[in-house]
Amino acid sequence: MKKKNLANFMQTRTGFFILLVLLFVLKYIFAAYHDFNLGISDPYQHIIMWLSPLGTAILLLSIGFYFPKPIVSYWVMLLMDFANTCLLFANILYYREFSDFITVKTITNAGKVAPGLGKSAVSLLQPSDILLWLDLILVIALLVTHKLKIDQKSYGLLTPFTITSFGFFVLALNIFLAESSRPRLLRNTFDRAYVVKYLGLDTYTVYDGIKNEQTEQVNRNANAADLNKILNFTKKNKIPANANYFGKEKGKNVIVIHLESFQQFLIGLKVNGKEVTPFLNSIYHDKHTISFDNFYHQVGIGRTSDAENMLETGTYGIADGSLFTALGGSNTFQAAPQILHEHGNYTSAVFHGNVGTFWNRDEVYKNLGYNYFFDQNYFSTDKDDKKEYGVKDKLLFAESIKYLERMQQPFYTKFITVTNHTPFSMDNQDLDPHFQTTDTSDKTINNYFETAHYLDESIREFFAYLKKSGLAKNTMVVIYGDHYGLTNSENQTLAPIVGESSDTWSSYNDTQMQRVPFMIHAPNLKGKINHEVAGEIDVLPTLMHLLGISNKHYVQFGSDLLSRQYRPWIVFRNGTIVSQKYVIIGAKGKKGLVYDRKTGKQIINFTKQEKEEIADLAKKAKQSLKYSDLLNNHNLLRFYTPKGFKPVNPNQFDYLTNFQQMEKIQNKLKKKSTALINVHHGSTTKLYKTDAPELKGRDEEITEIPESVRGNHLTEKKNKSSKNKKKAYNK
């Protein structure tokens, strides 16, 4: 009887609708597990992902109910199901090629690339793809053979309205559950995979379309008068370079080492009688290092991407998300890679062992002017070689050498480390048996010292290579911490370890914990420790002047830290201000919390001079953030090109063929090639020594180019062991 009732129900229009919805949800879930790598890590995320296609599928297919003619109603539902399946299938093929999801901008530009796809698109097909279309084929066959009959009943408007309302309810529930698992998901979108994981492909596509239209609308509303205000503001705040430092490092290689979540208090800190970061301590105090002990990060919601943006462009991150993900794919920049290319013929590259789409880097780096981006595709892929956020630091440095030595000099490169990232977890094999961490009640704190110690060891190995290979002689190494690692909630437990009292810990101490290391190391620099307040916004003008490049005509909101006229104050993205005299918390001037920066005592009663100084700082801080946001949100740099600068053409870059491009340049230049491998008359990879247990007995990971890279088959490398994908290349 139940089977008969079910069979009868399937002959109704409602039954047909439910059948299509369920079949689509099932194939979507299949694709999510089989074709996409969504990083689903707990049961709650699995449930959210299962729910994510349901609401939008109901909404789309319910459109068919609004057509009174039965045959039209059925075919509209099938058409909606077909369109949704096409979107799913297109994303599957795109993901197989690029490990990313299709954006609306990609769809609108599809006509420009479709003619060149040809056989490559066909090669992406897999036998399992038939499962995505099997349900539609069977349902249409059942309709044609009248096994499924067209329900002739009239449903009016109440039924379709009820179904649509239920679809909106399911969608709202999905968004609520997603926000509970990942707060501010749509405001702080650092990876498209996160939106797809939590909200599904349909919602992601709509969201991306809205975001794209908002960007276009902002660009259409751009005002030249706003640009003039910004130019006047930045010009007024420009300061001259220090003649003793200007051009001191002209023509030198530049290596920027990005210390993930690394805070200043780690420098010089001992735990159980052992230095946490002995090598970085030695570099910090080296006779050829200019170090800063009151250097603050200034990141906002964009975290690491905000730090990168400030160092590369000299502008702040945006207030309500990540500039990289919200604007970086379409904005015009005047960034370090292109500036150095135009003024010093520099070659540029980023080495980062995570997926290229994280923080939208694969698009943003092209707009910044980076020639090469070596993401996880260029490194070993064995399971033990990675942690949560990519290839372990020791492996990142070791395996980058085979690419670094092929870059034409001078080069500007950035190494983004990841092991010292929350939750600061380490494999037992990577722990130093001679270093014993703390034993606090907070596991995060205990882990933090272990990952920081590991990061320190990886940099020691990299510096040893620089010295052996000869690169150290003509390279300026810049080392900085991108942002805090331990949060304010952990600071009171941390207090005794850093020589403070948890009983007297205040907002002042929380602010001081936002200090991160900043060091500039080069053989011809006279080392010193600078005690003035400084921040990430000041790095680009400082490096430009050291390299002999004037920043006079560039739109930058920081100042040269080595200038005799440097004014020591900075503003955080949340409005907190730090100067030589004050810590002003709350973006409210004297109405907020104000501390004496040197004593840490709160100022309650202000003198007339203090009121004026605080008001002046608050005004400048507000203007800096306001004009930077105006510049970036309206993409105003597309209207302004500084003298001697050529805007970036992002279409010239292809990060899937980095190795082939370098080989082509080497072959073209022949004896004129300045790549280290040519200058050294052979590979330098064997000079690199590491104690990473993962690479024991696997020297080919350091010395040999992976077949997937050498043969330009990067997409074939995904999910395959690099052990079986190596082929000797270096002779």
Residue 218, C-beta contacts closer than 8 angstroms, at least 6 positions apart: 633, 634, 635
Paired with 290 in beta bridges are 520, 528
**Greatest extent of the chain over all pairs of C-alpha atoms, in Å:** 94
Is 304 one of the annotated active-site residues of the chain? yes
* pLDDT score at 1: 54
Asked whether the CA dihedral 21, 24, 26, 29 is positive or negative, the reply is negative
Report the C-alpha dihedral over residues 610, 612, 617, 623, rounded to 10 degrees: 160
Give me the pLDDT at residue 703, please.
96
Question: Which CA distances in Å does 318 have to 301, 575, 636?
Answer: 8, 12, 14
- Higher pLDDT pick, 686 / 708: 686
Rg, the chain, Cα only: 28
What is the signed CA dihedral for 354, 360, 361, 366, rounded to 10 degrees?
150
Q: Quick one: three-class SS letters along 64-81?
A: HHHCCCHHHHHHHHHHHH
* pLDDT > 50? residue 729: no
The single residue listed with the structure tokens 């008001």 is: 615
DSSP string of 386-432?
Answer: EETTEE-HHHHHHHHHHHHTTSPSSEEEEEE--TT-TT----GGGS-
CA-angle at 502, arms to 498 and 508, nearest 5°: 80
Question: Does residue 723 or residue 216 have the better pLDDT?
Answer: 216
At 121, the pLDDT band (50, 70, 90 cuts) reads low
Instruction: Summarize pLDDT for 582-631 with one digit per residue, the tens.
Output: 999 977 777 889 999 999 999 999 999 999 999 999 999 999 999 999 99
Q: How far apart are CA 499 and CA 155, in angstroms?
A: 74
Place of tokens 């302004």: 640
Of residues 567, 586, 458, 572, the one with CA closest to residue 515: 572
- Rounded mean pLDDT, 21-49: 91
**Side chain identity at residue 502, one-letter code:** S
* SS3 annotation, 78-97: HHHHHHHHHHHHHHHHHHHH
Which comes out higher in pLDDT, residue 97 or 182? 182
Q: What is the pLDDT of residues 611-624, one digit of tens each?
A: 999 999 999 999 99
d(CA 505, CA 562): 33
Gap between the Cα atoms of 165 and 672, Å rounded: 69
Above 60 in pLDDT, residue 151?
yes
CA nearest 629: which of 360, 188, 229? Answer: 229
pLDDT in tens, 662-690: 999 999 999 999 999 999 999 999 999 99
Query: Is-contact 574 300, C-beta < 8 A?
Result: yes
What is the Cα–Cα distance from 181 to 191, expressed in whole angstroms?
15
pLDDT score of 99: 65
Place of tokens 């530009």: 109
Going from the C-alpha of 605 to that of each of 129, 228, 324, 595, 618, the distances in angstroms are 72, 39, 42, 11, 18
- The rounded mean pLDDT for the chain is 90
One-letter amino acid at 577 equals: I
Q: How far apart are CA 121 and CA 139, in angstroms?
A: 27
- CA-wise closest residue to 519 among 334, 275, 315, 266: 266
- Please compute the mean of the pLDDT values over residues 141-145 and round it to a whole number: 93
Cα end-to-end span (Å), the chain: 76
Question: Do residues 568 and 583 make contact, with C-beta atoms less than 8 angstroms apart?
Answer: no
Between 84-88, 136-140, 150-154, the lowest mean confidence (pLDDT) is in 150-154
Say what percent of the chain tops pLDDT 90.
76
CB 532 within 8 A of CB 518: no
Beta bridge partners of residue 257, listed in sequence order? 415, 479
> How many of the other CB atoms lie within 10 Å of CB of 689?
11
DSSP strand E in 202-354: where? Answer: 253-259, 270-271, 274-275, 289-292, 295-296, 347-352
Question: Residue 696's pLDDT is what?
Answer: 94
Distance of alpha carbon 290 from alpha carbon 520, whole angstroms: 5
Question: Is-contact 279 257, C-beta < 8 A?
Answer: no
Closest CA to 100 of 53, 25, 35: 35
Nearest Cα to Cα of residue 410 among 459, 348, 338: 348
Catalytic residue among 56, 304, 511, 576: 304
How many CA atoms does the CB half-sphere of 683 hold within 13 Å?
16
Average pLDDT over residues 349-368: 94
For residues 379 and 714, the answer to whether their CB atoms sit within 8 Å is: no
Would you state the pLDDT for residue 713?
59
Neighbours of 697 (CB within 10 A): 8
